[in-house]
Structure 1
Amino acid sequence: MAEWLHEDGIGEERAILVERGDIIAARVDWGEALRPGFTGPAQIVVKHKGTRRGIARFADGGEALVDGLDPAVTEGATLLLRVTRAAIAEKGRTKLPQARPAGPEALPAPAPGLLAELRAGPLPVRSLPITDRSFDEAGWHELVEQAQGGEIAFPGGSLLVSPTPAMTLIDIDGTLPPPMLARAAVPAIARALTRLDIGGSIGVDFPTLADRKDRLAVDAALTEALAGWKGERTAMNGFGFVQLVARLERPSLVARFARHRTGAALRALLRQAERVTDPGVLLLTAAPALRRAMPAEWEAELIRRTGRAVRWQEDTGLALDGGFAQAVAA
């Protein structure tokens, strides 16, 4: 039976759904305050005339797009709102979180953590110490590489997953004849949706298939591969395009790692540091950008968790994800 494995790292909760030693789904939570489930008072700072929409500002200064407002609500009013979608960073901008009125019986509440969300679901959950190697054994590093690069190989071709402002686009490339390439890509697409936690509007650009029977064959294969996936899709059009739509609550792993490369690399370095077993002071060797991005509270948490002093060595020749941690003599 599939089982969720969970780790609580510094600045990041992560979880993988593992079945027969393989990752079939993944989730990452970076602890943003305004994420789905957060309920709190917010002031309506913009009310769009003639609509039930506007912009609200919460007590911490964070803003959200609001829908479902009572027509009688005016700018300046304070309402209890529940966040339904987290902020999503895009090239050059960030989409604000989305929220709705929480209802008369709701109370202010923080967003549930990832572990709590998983435990509320139907599958078993096992929380692991950060030193456990189960994530590595299941292929976590390969998954992160796919999320960072957006490229996923499959027999005969590859997928290129690109987050855009309008949708997540999946392009298919390969050397097989178009009908064979399209069919070969289907299992990889279905697998990528859950492994990379992709939701919202998703466009899949298959090779153009002139013969209608070939398009119908791909549609049938998609129906089978996406059984159990919670979303809707269109049939393939004459240009090989298929649109999928699923509920969007948070950034996909591709969007998160593509738009927050420094934050992702810093969290990975901290995870390495927690796993150092040799005695001595922790030495973090990293690109200067990682040192500058380190929040003081994260470094303090690393010291608390490991019981060690921490030193930094900046190396301008290292890439963002090239940092490493080791123990050195005091």
Structure 2
Amino acid sequence: MTTQMQWLYEEGIGECRAALVAHGRILEAQIERESERVLAGAVAQGRLVRTLVPKKRGIVRLHSGEEALLEPLPPRLAEGGTVLVEIRREALGEAGLDGERRDKLATARAALPGQKAHPGPSLLQRIRATDIPVIPCPAHEEDHLEAHGWGELLDAAMRGEVGTEAAALRIFPTPAMVLIDVDGSLPPAQLGPKGAKLAAQAIRAMGLTGSIGIDLPTMNNKEERNIAAAQIDKYLPQPFERTAVNGFGFIQIIRRRERASLIELLRDDPALTAAMALLRQAERWTGGHGTGGGAVTLTANPAVIERIRRGPDWVARLEKRRGGAVTLAADPTLSLEQGHAG
């Protein structure tokens, strides 16, 4: 087990995965799904198709066909005019009040003079830019991601629950902000710092960004509240802004928002999330013989099987990687999470 920080990187079918690890645990986890959507950091040509607030806000249609919210509008830009924009935040899926899924457009600003069109950095490019060693994790080798708790972290993100009876978090993403409720059996003076540490670690691990509110227990005095706040500063890397812990135990954190958090990504399309997990399992299935490869059958809920069928070339890529035929079997008695390869 290495104590040095390093990125584990896995190029899967349908998505790429990365985890920053040290001391046997995951500090940060990121997933990048295959998509035609523009990535944060891209500079792209677009056309203003609608003005929402004169001189302030409008919608541009990029050459790819995707639309983005442009703010502020450059002077003298009229509807129908072309403009070079920089993508500040990628499009996000969001549940409405009626439970229906909605998309939030990517956000953009006018590109700076001299900038040229270019794609946004991929997940692999972003982690390489950190200057931390990147370790490739091919499917035919030991599952290093799982050895560091990948499955547990994804399960926690799906459930929005972290911790134990002594100190636990419940995480609630909302359209306005992410709310983290801290509860547990420890006395408030101990639960405050412990809950703040758990919250900081979860925020980093799950990539929670934007406005984040943490509801700590009500502590007895300012000194106890300062001790709790210090845990945020210790375990959550900059850049971020935060308030002090108020008398009711509430602290607010602001982190720059560029893409979906792990919670948002996994929950946005549960059938797709289950399909990605099943394809990952199928890549690594050995049939109990100690070596991978050969034919495999994927059995799962019909919605999961349909998502795999709809993948552009996922089955073909799995067959190529395994060197054998792939059979898809739909079983309506299985939940989304119960798919298996065998």
TM-score tier after normalising by the smaller chain length: over 0.9
Displacement, 1:306?
Answer: 2.3
Contact 1:186 1:225 in 2 (8 A): no
Q: Does 1:54 pair with 2:58?
A: yes
Aligned to 1:261: 270
- Once residues 37 and 233 of structure 1 are traced to their aligned partners in structure 2, the CA distance between those partners, rounded to angstroms, is 25
Counterparts of 1:217 and 1:316, CA distance in 2: 51
Counterpart AA for 2:62: F
Taking the aligned partners of 2:23 and 2:233, their CA distance within structure 1 comes to: 24
Alpha-carbon separation, structure 2, partners of 1:95 and 1:280: 42
Instruction: Give TM-score scaled by structure 1 length.
Output: 0.92
Residues 25-80 of structure 1, C-alpha deviations (whole Å, 9 max, x = no match) = 11111133312122221111122344332111122321111123312101111222
Of 167, 170, 175, the match for 1:160? 170
Structure 1 partner of 2:302: 288
Match of 2:126 among 117, 130, 138: 117
Change over 3 Å in CA distance of 1:274–1:220 after alignment to 2 = closer
Q: Helix, strand or coil: the match of 1:308?
A: coil
Give the whole-Å Cα distance in 2 for the aligned partners of 1:281 and 1:318. Answer: 22
The answer for the alignment partner of 2:207 in structure 1 is: 197
The answer on whether the counterparts of 1:154 and 1:185 sit within 8 Å (CA) in structure 2 is no
Preserved contact between residue 294 and residue 323 of structure 2 (Cα < 8 Å): no
What count of residue pairs does the alignment treat as equivalent?
325
Please give the TM-score of this superposition, normalised by the length of structure 2.
Answer: 0.89
- For residue 98 of structure 1, what is the aligned residue in structure 2? 107
Q: How far does residue 210 in structure 1 lie from its aligned partner after superposition?
A: 5.0
SS at match of 2:297: strand
Taking the aligned partners of 1:221 and 1:275, their CA distance within structure 2 comes to 39
Residue 83 of structure 2 corresponds to residue 74 of structure 1? no
Aligned to 2:179: 169
Which residue does 1:320 correspond to in 2?
336
Query: 2:164 & 2:262 partners in 1: Cα distance?
Result: 19
Letter matched to residue 302 of structure 2: P
Structure-2 residue corresponding to 1:211: 221
Structure 2: runs of 5+ lacking an equivalent:
97-101, 288-292
Residue in structure 1 matched with residue 140 of structure 2 by the alignment: 131
RMSD after superposition: 1.8
Tell me the residue number matched to 2:246: 237
Distance 1:52 1:299, change over 3 A: same
Displacement of 1:99 after TM fit?
1.4
Instruction: Give the match for residue 290 of structure 2.
Output: none
* Structure-1 separation of matches of 2:280 and 2:150: 13
Answering whether residue 36 of structure 2 is matched by residue 36 of structure 1, we say no
Quote how far apart the aligned CAs of 1:212 are.
Answer: 3.5
> Which shifted more, 269-278 or 192-201?
269-278
Gaps of 5+ in 1: none
Which whole-Å CA distance do the structure 1 matches of 2:280 and 2:6 have between them? Answer: 22
